[in-house]
Chains A and B, each alone.
Chain A
């Protein structure tokens, strides 16, 4: 059993600083939400976008390329169809 003292401090886990739920939203809305909210997190931290529009598979990395943020990758969502994208704010 893990005691609270053994638990890793929050800063050690590279979890997202912000999660954006764009499930059910069609492109370009998930990208607009990402663009509008990435400024809320500190530079160097990570935002996670949840989306199920297949166009986001291309458009999230393409947006990162155009806007020079770092695209960290995508993972299938476990509980619903869709993807979780992670982006590190670069500036």
Chain B
């Protein structure tokens, strides 16, 4: 059995588990209260904030914890737009890449509903935005926010964030970088004004997101605010989960280079060998400028849902961007933007403990599953159902 869906949720890191259990004993009180238990909770929360800020390369008071990566992305986008809204000049213009996480695209669409203009910048077949096209879009209208992920969550391609950040800086436009796919796996991005990450993607528990807003960046709560998290995130924070997420990010960063070397070599084996083992199989994403742990491919003439189910039966947990494997029945917007085949799609994303043997076994079972499924498609056809 092998779990190959780390990009959906990385198994809880040992350091996070220890931190979580300890915090259940001494990190449960309200950090906003002045009693001893409250001060203890506050101390732990501040320490986690300093730890995360150091790992992101920013100030502690720039970091807030949210209830998910999605909430962090929503707050980043909507708070930046809200702060630059003007009665005379309207909501302004937002630029997003076509391959952002759905939380970013949904937030942009939400802003669009209340009057923002949104420009979506396309990507090349590897899933990378064109810097010139992005810079051109920023130059149009009164741009109040640009959004570009650090790396793509479905195909692993790294985006040209430093180049886009330079264009944003030259134009005086804040840049939101969704770093959820890369946090703990790549050095922190540079040049961002706002940043989001998600605890469960780097070995923390689910239910923790990170929102960072640079001091100089205008940001205003888009929701009813309270005094929590620097007035950025309302509601009582889940302190045990936050402490565990901070410990997980610290541990992931500490062992980033070793994990990168191991996982990159394993995903390279899949990238290099699968097309020879499986006829009509396409590997997606950039072969070099990519995250270490993700490899995504599509097999012609196959149903992605059937592939996921058969691989699960064979002991491999993977995800798929095919329409039939999604709850919306829409194909992955990432693959569509790349012009890549959306059916028969599989995303393999390796957690840190992945062994070479499990990848060898995966490569051994995929060809048989594909040919069996293609054979059953052929039988359906011969029976005249379609």
Q: A: which residues have CB within 8 A of B?
A: 25-29, 31-33, 35-36, 53-55, 57-59, 61-63, 65-66
Contact = CB atoms under 8 A, between A and B. Distances in A.
Contact of B330 (A36, A54, A61, A62): A54
B343 interface: yes
A58 B340 contact: yes
B375 to A, nearest CB: 13
A53 B323 contact: yes
Interface in B288-311: 300-303
Given A26-B324, A53-B323, A58 B331 contact: yes
Contacts of A61: 339
A54 B333 CA distance: 11
B303 A28 contact: yes
By CB atoms of chain A within 10 A, which of B302, B303, B331, B335 has the most?
Answer: B331
B323 A54 contact: yes
B300 A58 contact: no
A31 B300 contact: yes
Interface of B: 280, 282, 300-303, 322-324, 330-331, 335-336, 339-344, 377, 381, 386
Contacts of A62: 339-342
A22 B136 CA distance: 40
8 contacts: A27-B303, A28-B302, A28-B303, A31-B301, A35-B301, A36-B381, A58-B335, A58-B340
Contacts, number: 62
B386 A58 contact: no
A66 B280 contact: yes
Given A28-B303, A32-B377, A55-B322, 10 more contacts: A28-B302, A28-B343, A33-B386, A54-B323, A58-B335, A58-B339, A59-B331, A62-B339, A66-B280, A66-B300
A58 B282 CA distance: 14
Contacts of B324: 26-27
A64 B208 CA distance: 43
A64 to B, nearest CB: 11
Contacts of A55: 322-323, 330-331, 342-343
A81 B341 CA distance: 22
A33 B71 CA distance: 43
A31 B344 CA distance: 11
Contacts of B343: 27-28, 31, 55, 59
A35 B301 CA distance: 9
B342 A59 contact: yes
Contacts of A26: 323-324
A27 B322 contact: yes
A8 B340 CA distance: 39
A65 B386 contact: no
B331 A28 contact: no
A79 B381 CA distance: 28
B341 A66 contact: yes
